[in-house]
Chains A and B, each alone.
Chain A
């Protein structure tokens, strides 16, 4: 049985800060030599603001310094082409060690530049001349990110489906599992509908593996990926010399899937002419190779999938109605990731473990901030997008915790709005208290006395609460 999902802090001690000195933030400021005094100002503010500041004259020199050691923040003073420069900066930081955060400053930054900065994951866009308070406010956010609280990854029970897995226990997915189990036992043609990345192929494979043709092959064809002029020969095969490039006789996917299942993904992207041929194959259970005259019987179970609204496509004359009814004997609709509630955490945990094993990493926890960013993302690409995001994060992670800084720019751009965002699921007072204590402990590097002082409670009270919350 899958354990309930915990978003409480881990019983582990808060992770130590990443910088050698917990109170000093390593800042690389990049400004032209003939700058406007920004470097000098920073030098003056550095001491009491807890900054270690170094300067680089331009982007190439900064890239060299970024490769040489770890930095917390890069402050880029943008010049006359701020939009373009911002893109170059985002690109340069991709290869830097320790994924430093980018702060940019420009003269009279426009709204367009601010939006671009947000998209590129820029921590903040400041206005020149730089004001001390603005800079420190932005840097405080960097330091806050360094005090992320570890949340243990829940245990996940999954059903392996070939190279994939079915993960999730939301009511919406439970319905999918039930229908999948029912339809697998029959030989009916199935139409799977759902947005991109919801797992249509995984469900198709599950049907195949639990059906009567499980001993046969599962052959998947992505109709939208294959160039139009090649799709017919890919599906039905061709005889040698049937067209330019037909250098030898080729068996099509229908033949390859004989005795098994043929999965036609993104079926709505097929031309009407080809739809007619598929209809014939479904109805007559026979095919002809391109350039051939022989009729070949086919014994395959057909499963089709699409992310399009087929009814609308029929209305527009882009999809054959008769084929639709042939395919949609049973229809399974897959839910969006955002409709699957806490499945997101289970999927995250599953992917973290999966990729940690692949890339030889030891990642046991995720930070509360990273989890919040994942929860607040709209996930237009659903599970596929989540999988990509987690894989990327695992690759760049350097210790046992997956942090917000490991997430791609598109997600980190939302960090600024995080504090203002209303909570989707309101936490209890105890949960909030536990998380806040853990955050302060992380900030004080585990020093109970200092933490008690910040929290304004007696040391003994804090120790009791730490015990109570398992911190």
Chain B
């Protein structure tokens, strides 16, 4: 007779057993994606507060999935090794551009599995090789890759520097594609730093170049970004017009994932205007376009989070909760655990809207995850800010103040002036 199955180990306990070693990163990811909510807890009173830490892992299940994980790790390493050998062969042939292409490919492979710092290392080597070449296009491409990565990591100034250099080289080489990408990157860097006029100028310049070279996808993307910018500046009519044009171009270009991004931006515009029905319809259509394109769980997750935020803002708490649970499942299964911090912060905010004190568990989980998985101080500060607002809402003013001050401290150290100003405003409101 087989032995009775022991209850699963909770993820919070399982993670405590795992040392902070880079080599164990894939195991951590496997552990998280293997975890399941305890069936018995689904309808229990703790069910609504279920977080990643409270999910369960069966060691046997983990062992059973290990061969797949080893296979993925081996395949990943194989791609990296092959890229390196390809670079080496190119070097041997005196084909510098080929070497750069192989190194950039390796970086993209790393980026594809979320290893951003490792990707950066490959791109730096590629840049070093490309700098010695007569043909400057590989250097344009390397700088572009580094620029995009820097933006992804929230290093906007560094990203802008890479794109500036990339643009100068691209223009000297009459490299239209490189120049368009550099303008787009510079626009994104400016947009992220709240420099609206700079962003507009870069996007407009990129758009002119893209239109001249009939690059439909680039035209669509830049129109979308101009739409996003116009929305942020409060020019609703212009935003709508840019997004309409973006959609038209991208549909014609047959780029479903880009159409999804446009519709997501449209949803945000509608949401800001209080047109909840239209916003929800835009998000739903965006999700439908995601399904048509190549699998992109990160994009789907972003749209689902936006949809949940919309429902939360509209007071449709039950639907918001359901959407957040779908997003949570997607993040866990798709190894997008960094986004869990955001999801749990929203779940906490949702409980705050219900005056439910036990909602604090979501913020605690978000803080833990931001330290364990995300490791970006900005994400942690954002959680503290929302946690402070939650504590205030449930009548715990002293704790609220302490969390807001912690958020201010972090934002201050990061030089995030806009976010710090928001915290200051909340603190002033509390003192009034």
Contacts and interface: CB of A to CB of B under 8 A. Distances in A.
Contacts, number: 109
A381 B44 CA distance: 7
Interface in B365-397: 365, 368
- A interface residue count range (under 10 / 10 to 19 / 20 to 34 / 35 or more): 35 or more
Given A196-B45, A197-B43, A227-B364, A63 B284 contact: yes
Given A95-B284, A230-B364, A248-B402, A58 B292 contact: yes
Interface stretch (A154-162, A178-186, A218-226): A218-226
Contacts of A223: 46
A227 to B, nearest CB: 6
A228 B44 contact: no
Given A88-B288, A91-B287, A201-B45, A196 B358 contact: no
Interface of B: 10, 12-13, 40-50, 53-54, 256, 259, 280-281, 284-285, 287-289, 291-292, 316, 318-319, 358, 361, 364-365, 368, 398-399, 402-403, 406
A385 interface: yes
A274 interface: no
A8 interface: no
A247 interface: yes
Interface of A: 58-60, 62-64, 67, 84-85, 88, 91-92, 95, 196-197, 200-201, 222-230, 247-248, 250, 265-266, 269, 307-308, 380-382, 384-385, 388, 391-392, 395
B302 to A, nearest CB: 16
Contacts of A266: 44-46
Contacts of A307: 40, 44
Contacts of A84: 291
Nearest to A197: B43
A225 B46 contact: yes
Contacts of A91: 287
Given A60-B259, A67-B284, A226 B44 contact: no
Contacts of A85: 291
Given A59-B291, A227-B365, A395-B318, 6 more contacts: A95-B281, A196-B44, A197-B43, A224-B54, A229-B12, A381-B43
Contacts of A380: 43
Nearest to B398: A248
Contacts of A201: 45
Nearest to A391: B318
Contact of A92 (B13, B42, B284, B399): B284
Contacts of B13: 228
B284 A197 contact: no
A81 to B, nearest CB: 10
A92 B288 contact: yes
B363 to A, nearest CB: 11
A227 B53 contact: yes
Contacts of B319: 395
A67 B285 contact: yes
A120 B226 CA distance: 39
A60 B44 contact: no
A338 to B, nearest CB: 13
A196 B10 CA distance: 20
A222 B42 contact: no
Contacts of A385: 43
B277 to A, nearest CB: 8
Nearest to B44: A196
B280 A60 contact: no
A62 B288 contact: yes
B399 A248 contact: yes
B291 to A, nearest CB: 5
Which of A59, A224, A250, A382 counts the most chain B CB atoms within 10 A? Answer: A224
Given A92-B287, A95-B280, A197 B364 contact: no
A382 B399 CA distance: 37
